[in-house]
Amino acid sequence: MAGAGASGVDWLRRERAGQQSGKRKQPAEGSRGSLQRFNMAAGAETFSLREVLVAFTACVSEQREVRVDPYLAGWKGLVRFLNCLGTIFSFISKDAVTKIEIIENYRNSDQREKYLTVQSMVEYELANGLVDLQQRSKHPNSGCRTFLRLHRALHWLQMFLEGLRTGEDNSKTSVICSETYNASLANYHPWIIRKAAGVAFCALPTRNTFLETMNVGTAEEAVAMLGDALPYICEVYKITEELYAQHKLLDLP
Ligand SMILES: CCCCCCCCCCCCC/C=C/[C@@H](O)[C@H](COP(=O)(O)O)NC(=O)CCCCCCCCCCCCCCC
């Protein structure tokens, strides 16, 4: 596992053991509309990057499928983190919450089993003509199209976290953020969104302060944790990218 920090992945094993034994309280998965309450309550609990990274490490099954529930749990944790950074980011977290909730609603529907993994979602929606392939019409918020937006954001996230991990102590989070955004997500956003994002990035603190807001200890400990977890996030991204490329879904409208 590239980049395993001094801590190795012991923290990861402990966290996942805790989750399996039910000791660690996890936000209730799959309860309808939980995201709004979850989002409101978010401010009440301190954010820990650890829970987000553990969620993403639980995404990939032995059969290399991407499980939707831990994927959404990872994104909910990221939204909670974003909400701690200030209201200037609320236009971003609102969009992420909307997309998370669209997919969560599919996971709460009569077809919930079809949405257990990205693979089963793609297979089900394509087989039943539930995806708008050329322009948004009868299925404007299909699971495939909604998940693709989060998938593109995951690409930005992995670049951003890698930039944080390898950046100099005195580097600026705003620079890392805008450079990685411009190299990824910005290509899918209209001018006005790119401008608004650029303004929001200016509100970001220095790299080390940012690392400390992750609430996993010192900046060095946060860097080590990023090194442990990033390969898992990259694996989730890679598997999804291959699946979407195979089915020619990378440009869903
Ligand atoms: C660290 C500060 C966070 C910087 C976030 C960088 C990403 C900026 C995304 C700006 C777009 C937000 C506005 C939404 C635009 C939507 O049009 C657009 C397309 O959707 P549509 O086709 O349905 O219209 N939506 C999207 O592209 C989805 C954007 C989802 C972005 C979620 C980003 C969450 C970031 C979470 C915090 C990351 C820091 C973690 C550090 C431990």
Give the residue numbers spanning the domain of 230: 49-247
Q: Is residue 30 part of a domain?
A: no
Q: Ligand 1: which residue has its CA nearest to atom 20?
A: 149
Q: Is residue 77 part of a domain?
A: yes
pLDDT of residue 23: 55
Helix (H, G, I), strand (E, B) or coil at 29: coil
Q: pTM value?
A: 0.88
pLDDT of residue 22: 59
pLDDT of residue 17: 72
Q: Is residue 16 part of a domain?
A: no
| Two tokens, residue 56 | 């993403």
pLDDT of residue 45: 54
For the chain, how many structural domains are there in total? 1
- CATH code: domain of residue 154: 1.10.3520.10
Going from the C-alpha of 33 to that of each of 83, 100, 143, 238, 250, the distances in angstroms are: 18, 10, 17, 30, 28
Q: Is residue 198 part of a domain?
A: yes
Which of 184, 185, 223 for mutating ligand 1's site (highest number of atoms within 8 Å of CB)?
Answer: 185
Q: Is residue 190 part of a domain?
A: yes
DSSP string, 151-193: HHHHHHHHHHHHHHHHS-TT-BHHHHHHHHHHTTGGGGS-HHH
pLDDT of residue 105: 98
Q: Is residue 40 part of a domain?
A: no
Q: Ligand 1: which residue has its CA nearest to atom 12?
A: 92
- What parts of the chain have a pLDDT lower than 50? 1-7, 24-44
Query: Mind listing the pLDDT tens digit for each residue in 202-240?
Result: 999 999 999 988 888 899 999 999 999 899 999 999 999
Atom of ligand 1 minimally distant from the CA of 146:
23
Ligand 1 centroid to Cα of residue 201, in Å, is: 12
pLDDT of residue 8: 53
